[in-house]
Structure 1
């Protein structure tokens, strides 16, 4: 089975620079059988360069999944606020192989190539790529192995409900989330009060980004992590 399509990615702030990007990927999924076991191969190739890198902040520990997105170009890292960076090219191959054990298990491997930086020059060292891959693998495993992980149908249903919400309701909930992110970022000392965006700036945030950030809170609630949105409020939002 071969499936091809396009995917829009918006990544969380980088562990080293705090920069986050958005870009489009050509994706190919290949499902095959090898020696009686299922194998999934995924291939990803970036289309054109990313949007300009923007300042982001990881709030607290990275595994708490709390981030602040400034929507401002540059890097929050000292001395790099002026940087106008891009991901110029990205290519990835993932291999997932069913393992013959008494319990369902999958062994996986990932290969990635990336060219990112500014002024057309690549400033992405190998060690940063490896750190990012380990970060991805850690979170991917946490989600996929969680006994509380919702079904595919449930996840799709929540996304569709958020996408169908009136713009006012969606932005109101997003403003509350952003306020919580901002407060945590200021308390942590990662940013100053004057550096945070004003409430009216939320109108400029793309709807897709709003839904992505709210979906992250949904996953946090679903698998038992602390969310910046109160559980009852979020459930009321998607059930309304």
Structure 2
């Protein structure tokens, strides 16, 4: 079964310096029908004004993934990490038993747009961690995060995998889903057909009881999506 969550149906927040679209309930946006999916708890599409950002705040027991779409993030945390995250790179912060961090738009003239993703871990406490990597823009599917960190992927504290899917026009790819597992697709750019279901930018799709998924780009521009393989 494939259930679509259209971009226009997402929650909204506007704080002046921050405009955000929430796929699932977050902050002041609450919808009991959209509290997350499996271990996936948050997908926020954030636009941050120049030189603005999130002041230092804390998290614990959450796997927090960021993907910069436009601009650069200036990251600082209580583990001593001070990094710049440019467009195209992935960041994974494991909050563990507790971490404080700030995220700012590194530019004083250009807006920052990034996806903020939270995944609930399958272990509590533990040492906080920080990972960052550029996986490129290769056509097809690229594994970004795994439970083991195998083959240079980011290591996530959950039985979950994150894939980046990039398909030029007229291209397709098929992925398998083990019995009992779930998948979630978030469309980043371009259009994508998941089996017979079409997704536009910002759309999402919950996928259950589908052993094989064929992704096709029938549009005129390159399609980019994130695919979550979840317990």
TM-score tier after normalising by the smaller chain length? under 0.3
- Which structure has the larger Rg? 1
- Name whichever structure is richer in strand by fraction: 2
Q: TM-score, normalised by structure 2?
A: 0.24
Q: Which has the higher helix share?
A: 1
